[in-house]
């Protein structure tokens, strides 16, 4: 029982990336992550010594028992592609604070290290998945992008944008971002060299599709939009049906088609996905499993309707 309890916090997406991160301490009893600046500088040497050691950056042991089970599951060898996921540097840097309760993103030296460390973690995860299936990628979960460009954050927008562009250049393979919020869509669609953008269109679709010119540019250069439409939170799930979900998707596609983005092109570069991944349901996995069954049915019906099978 103690091992199971200890494992649960290590499945947190912020905790998962902290193994071998200098200055980090995990409090598994209080479910907290601590960062100490002095310890950070003391432990940097180990990072430098292991920079080219992929094993140093792997998600291992307590830090992701579920991830290891996923890699060992023989069924994934039959998948057309595999997706990994990692918390992004902006979200991590805003959430994790130092001994003075200051988010580490505001320490320029730590921030520079953070971007580099995250890139190494993500690249090693992609390489590990690609050994099983070469058609693999890791997308970055970045809820922090929803508010980083506000004037109140103290992280100047132009600096943040440049930092993120430089960070993405460090990544291997397809570059993807997932977030459930409502960020600066212009920046994500046009300002970054993204291959995949995952959007919670169930909540933010009416706003997102208004960025018609930026979506057109993203599609024209081959970008894939992942339309997060199937609710995974119990109350939202109970309010929707397969027909209502498809209807909402088609309403957004109608809007874009009427403004010069052909539906056929949108569909060729579209994925259908759950609306969001931050789940707090009282029924455990039940709603999530139902949501994925609905997701499969929605995908099948759309493929049949538009001749995509």
77, 166 Cβ separation under 8 angstroms:
no
Place of tokens 């830090």: 63
pLDDT at 152: 63
In this structure, what token pair is assigned to residue 63? Answer: 């830090």
* Tens digit of each residue's pLDDT, the chain (309 residues): 333 334 478 888 999 999 999 999 999 889 999 999 999 999 999 999 999 999 999 999 888 888 888 999 998 988 889 999 999 999 999 999 999 999 999 999 999 999 999 999 999 999 999 999 999 999 999 998 887 766 567 788 888 889 999 999 999 989 999 998 888 899 999 988 899 999 999 999 999 999 999 999 999 999 999 999 999 999 999 999 999 999 999 999 999 999 999 999 999 999 999 998 766 788 888 999 999 999 999 999 999 999 997
Taking CA atoms, 73 is separated from 67, 78, 277, in Å, by 10, 10, 21
Give the closest residue to 188 by CA, choosing from 206, 151, 215, 159. 215
Please provide residue 200's backbone torsions phi and psi, each rounded to the nearest 5 degrees: -80, 85
CA 207, CA 185: separation in Å to the nearest integer? 9
Domain ranges for the chain, please list them. Answer: 79-305
Q: Is the pTM of this model over 0.85?
A: yes
Q: Is 183 helix (H, G, I), strand (E, B) or coil?
A: coil
pLDDT at 54: 96
pLDDT at 11: 85
Q: What is the CATH number of domain 79-305?
A: 3.20.20.210
């Amino acid at each position: 029982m103690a091992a199971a309890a200890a494992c649960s916090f290590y499945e947190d997406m912020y905790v998962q990336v902290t193994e071998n991160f200098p200055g980090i301490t995990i409090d598994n009893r209080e479910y907290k992550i601590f960062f100490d600046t002095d310890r950070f500088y003391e432990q940097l040497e180990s990072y430098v010594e292991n920079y080219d050691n992929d094993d140093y950056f792997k998600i291992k042991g307590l830090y992701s028992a579920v991830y290891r089970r996923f890699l060992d599951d023989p069924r994934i060898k039959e998948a057309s592609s595999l997706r990994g996921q990692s918390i992004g540097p902006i979200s991590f840097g805003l959430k994790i604070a130092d001994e003075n309760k200051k988010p580490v993103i505001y320490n320029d030296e730590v921030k520079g290290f953070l971007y580099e460390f995250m890139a190494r973690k993500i690249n090693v995860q992609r390489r590990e998945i690609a050994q099983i299936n070469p058609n693999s990628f890791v997308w970055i979960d970045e809820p922090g992008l929803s508010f980083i460009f506000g004037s109140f954050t103290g992280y100047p927008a132009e600096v943040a944008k440049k930092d993120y562009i430089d960070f993405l250049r460090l990544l291997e393979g397809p570059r993807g971002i997932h977030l459930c919020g409502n960020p600066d869509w212009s920046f994500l669609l046009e300002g970054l060299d993204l291959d995949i953008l995952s959007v919670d269109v169930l909540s933010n679709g009416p706003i997102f599709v208004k960025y018609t010119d930026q979506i057109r540019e993203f599609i024209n250069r081959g970008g894939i939009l992942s339309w997060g439409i199937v609710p995974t939170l119990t109350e939202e799930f109970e309010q929707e049906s397969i027909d209502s979900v498809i209807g909402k998707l088609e309403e957004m596609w109608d809007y874009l088609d009427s403004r010069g983005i052909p539906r056929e092109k949108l569909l060729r570069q579209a994925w259908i996905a759950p609306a969001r991944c931050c789940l707090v349901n009282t029924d455990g996995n039940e709603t999530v499993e139902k949501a994925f069954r609905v997701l499969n049915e929605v995908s099948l019906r759309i493929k049949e309707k538009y001749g995509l099978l």
